[in-house]
Amino acid sequence: MKLDFRAKLSVSQKRTTTMIVNALYMLLTKKSFDEITVREICKISLIPHSTFYNYFEDKYDVVKWSFYAIVYDYYPEMDEIMNHYDNIEKSADLLYDFIDDYRGIMSKVAKKNPVDGTFYKIIKTCMYEIGEIIAKNCTRDKDFGIPYEIVFGNYVNGFNEVLVQSFYEKKVYTRDQIKTYMKEFYAK
């Protein structure tokens, strides 16, 4: 990624990235990711191509950066060492908040971008990358008897399934349901 999702952006950078990201997601509600071009993103965002490429490598980079930036906004301490069991409840709250905040736009995006499509594959890859960061920090200096790769794979698959059920299958879970499911599934 050209732009660090953890970096504090200037007002101008925030405005530019917001315009680019909003243009991409607006397009994603109308067509599949594969059909979208950088030219269209620039046209809708009113950003010159040269400016786009100062911030992002390509349209894939916009999706990755926006997903990472959103997750980091919700979970800025993801790089810190954390307690596995305390993290379950916090993660459940954050997952619920994300679903609640983005249900409208992501449900529309899901209509044009199926689970087996490019857009969702990028999101899933990002989820695994973030899951690995968090899992390393939850398992560091602890011996669960299970390699952290299996632990984080388990977490990410659970998060992934809740997102698929929420955005693609339109299932609605309460905050308490998500907490209960995650505690049952991950705390053992």
Asked, for residue 139, whether it belongs to a domain, the answer is yes
Residue 1: inside a domain:
no
Distance of CA 13 to the CA centre of its chain: 20
- pLDDT at site 34: 98
Mean pLDDT value of segment 98-120:
95
- pLDDT range class, residue 112, cuts 50, 70, 90: very high
Count of domains forming the chain: 2
Q: What is the mean pLDDT of residues 158-175?
A: 93
Query: What is the average per-residue pLDDT within 160-165?
Result: 92
Q: Is residue 65, in this structure, part of any structural domain at all? A: no
Q: Assess whether 124 and 47 both reside in one domain.
A: no
What is the per-residue pLDDT across 45-63, written as a single tens digit (0 to 9) for each?
999 999 999 999 999 999 9
Question: The domain that contains 26 carries what CATH number?
Answer: 1.10.10
Task: Judge whether 180 lies within some domain.
Answer: yes
Read off the tokens for 86.
Answer: 């305390």
| pLDDT reading at 81 higher than 80 | no
Comparing CA positions, the residue from 98, 157, 102 lying closest to residue 128 is 157
Tokens of 140: 């560091």
Q: Do 48 and 108 sit in the same domain of this protein?
A: no
Whether 105 and 130 map to the same domain: the answer is yes
63/69 Cα distance (integer angstroms):
10
Confidence of residue 140 (pLDDT cuts 50, 70, 90): low
Q: How confident is the model at residue 121 (pLDDT cuts 50, 70, 90)?
A: very high
| Any domain includes 143 | yes
pLDDT > 70? residue 187: no
Question: Is residue 64 situated within a structural domain?
Answer: no
145 shares a domain with 106 = yes
Query: Mean pLDDT throughout 120-133?
Result: 89
Which domain does 47 fall in, by range?
A: 11-59
Q: Give exposure, 152-176, as e/b (b: 16+ Cβ within 10 Å).
A: beebbebbbebbeebbbeeeebeee
C-alpha 112/C-alpha 119 separation (Å) is 10
